[in-house]
Amino acid sequence: MSSADPKVKHGAGLSLLASELRILFGRRRTWAMLAAVALIPILLAVALRLTSAGVEPGQGPPFLDRVTQNGLFVSFTAMVVAIPLFLPLTVGVVAGDTLAGEASHGTLRYLLVAPAGRLRLLIVKFAGAIAFCIAATLTLVVAGTIIGALLFPVGPVTLLSGDVISVPESAVRALLVAAYVSLSLLGLSAIGLFISSLTSVPVGAMAATVVVSVVSQILGALPQLEWLHPWLFTDTWLGFSGLLSQPMDGTAFGANAVLQGGYAAVFFALAYSRFTTKDILS
């Protein structure tokens, strides 16, 4: 009986990534979370449509007063509403579950015996969490755009700077905002991955990840700690207004990339050092 030749490898081993994404996006839990994300702009738009009273500028979340004039603003408003708690909650569930979920099912030992390779598995898990961040923000933007177009007039968009951009141009901006917010969640995903490598109780890892994001935002709200703010991974979360001005200001995007990239590097490294030396006893 000839055994598998260890020297023969099939492709770059992308099978595992494909399988990870299939499982992640095949789970009812993932769909429930994406549906909940889609509900945010829908609820927001419906509520605005049903109340006849106009919204004064400066009342409620940013851009709220503009929604009734232009449905394309639904996405932006919903994004601002979802960023502080709801998106981190869903990312916490996915990132916290990455390794701890496999450990709690006992499938972690079988993946490693297969052998998946610990670093490769870690990369695949991180990639899965990032894919979810992108899916969540895209879901929000797409749902917001559709419901906005259905309930409110759609036309050229007046930006914060007073300039007017066309509808297709505003679609590009909406996608850029989605990209910005996905990027914003990178640091939190890496933190979740690290926490997930510490435990075999997925609920604990999920909760801890969400708590970290809340604590960071609380610290970010304290003016006494202003020296600390640039170091918080939540500091740039709401900083996408530059993407809605004309000419577009991309500096916040760059700053966000540096911050999130730094957090991702540090926490991925921590997760790596923990996971590759860990005894898998679950």
Partner 1 sequence: MTAPDLAIETRALTKTFGRQRAVQGIDLAVPRGSVFGFLGPNGSGKTTSIRMLLGLADATSGEMSVLGESMPDRILDVLPRVGALVEGPAFYPFLSGEDNLRRLDSADRHASPRTRTERVRRALERVGLSAAAKKKAGAYSLGMKQRLGIANALLQPRELLVLDEPTNGLDPQGTREVRSLVRSFAAEGTTVFVSSHLLAEVEQVCTHAAIMSAGSLVAQGSLDELRGAGERHVRVRTADAGRAASVLAGFGLEPSSQDYDASSADVTALLPAGFAASNDIVAALVTAGVRVQGFAVEEPSLEDRFVDLTGEGFDVVR
Extract the tokens encoding 137. 């923000």
Residue whose CB is less far from partner 1, 109 or 229: 109
* Rounded (10°) angle between helices 202-221 and 86-105: 150
- Residue 22 CB, nearest distance to partner 1 (Å)? 8
- Residue 14 CB, nearest distance to partner 1 (Å)? 9
CB 130 within 8 A of CB 186: yes
CB 174 within 8 A of CB 149: no
- Residue 206 CB, nearest distance to partner 1 (Å)? 17
- Residue 33 CB, nearest distance to partner 1 (Å)? 15
CB 217 within 8 A of CB 238: no
Residue whose CB is less far from partner 1, 31 or 211: 31
Binding site for partner 1 (CB under 8 A): 1-6, 8-11, 13, 15-16, 18-19, 23, 27-28, 105-107, 109-117, 120-121, 277, 279-281
Residue whose CB is less far from partner 1, 35 or 228: 35
Residue whose CB is less far from partner 1, 6 or 223: 6
- Residue 127 CB, nearest distance to partner 1 (Å)? 14
Task: Count the residues in the chain.
Answer: 282
Q: Decide: helix, strand or coil at residue 195.
A: helix
- 260 CB neighbour count, 10 Å cutoff: 22
- Residue 122 CB, nearest distance to partner 1 (Å)? 13
Residue whose CB is less far from partner 1, 160 or 280: 280
- 107 CB neighbour count, 10 Å cutoff: 12
CB 214 within 8 A of CB 85: yes
- Residue 89 CB, nearest distance to partner 1 (Å)? 21
Q: Decide: helix, strand or coil at residue 118.
A: helix
Task: Measure the CA–CA gap between 212 and 196, rounded to whole angstroms.
Answer: 13
Task: Measure the CA–CA gap between 179 and 252, rounded to whole angstroms.
Answer: 12
Residue whose CB is less far from partner 1, 69 or 282: 282
Angle, CA of 57, 62 and 68, to the nearest 5°: 60
Residue whose CB is less far from partner 1, 1 or 50: 1
